[in-house]
Amino acid sequence: MLISTKHLTNYECRDFNEPNFLSLPVTIQWPLDKHVALHLFLKFQLHVLEKLNIQIANEVSQVNDPQLLATEYLAGHLSFASLDSARVQWWDYIDDHNGITNFQDRNLLMARLAVCLLMTKVNEGDTLQDHLDWFIEFLKALGEDSKKVTALKKDYFNLADRI
């Protein structure tokens, strides 16, 4: 699934198999083209949510469907401005529910996953690893099995031989 290494740069990622996974670096090779890297990252998030049977809009129906919007964006049917507008709605939801520091409420964690799907900008390609780390942290806070997430990450990014 990786592109020729001459088009890649290394970013650090973590082994989520370990109890203290944030301290264990592993390399993900992100495409240098920020548009390609963004699409790879968005597809990974959608893939993980699908495999974990997480439907954000089914749990927090008062706001837009971030998975549908991200899918439409990847298909070229929506602009990034549409994603950005949707992201603002999710931040408003978090703000309206006094959730800025709440990392335990399920609906607020779902809202944070929505923000993960909608907030990555092409010019932030060099911070995709930070976005990936937050996405995984929110899944973990929801009680998702870190071993399953690790397996999905290994398969998606072809890391099996490096972790």
Can you tell me the distance from the alpha carbon of 151 to that of 13, in angstroms, rounded to the nearest whole number? Answer: 14
pLDDT digits (tens, 9 = 90+) for 122-163: 666 557 888 888 899 999 999 999 899 988 988 898 875 554
Mean pLDDT over residues 42-71, rounded?
93
Which carries the bigger pLDDT value, residue 74 or residue 124? 74
**For 29, phi and psi rounded to 5 degrees?**
-95, 105
Mean pLDDT over residues 28-53, rounded?
91
Which carries the bigger pLDDT value, residue 95 or residue 10? 95
- pTM for the whole thing? 0.79
Boundaries of every domain in the chain: 33-145
Q: What pLDDT does 122 receive? A: 65
Report CA 81 to chain centroid distance, whole Å: 18
Q: Confidence band (pLDDT; 50, 70, 90) for 59?
A: confident
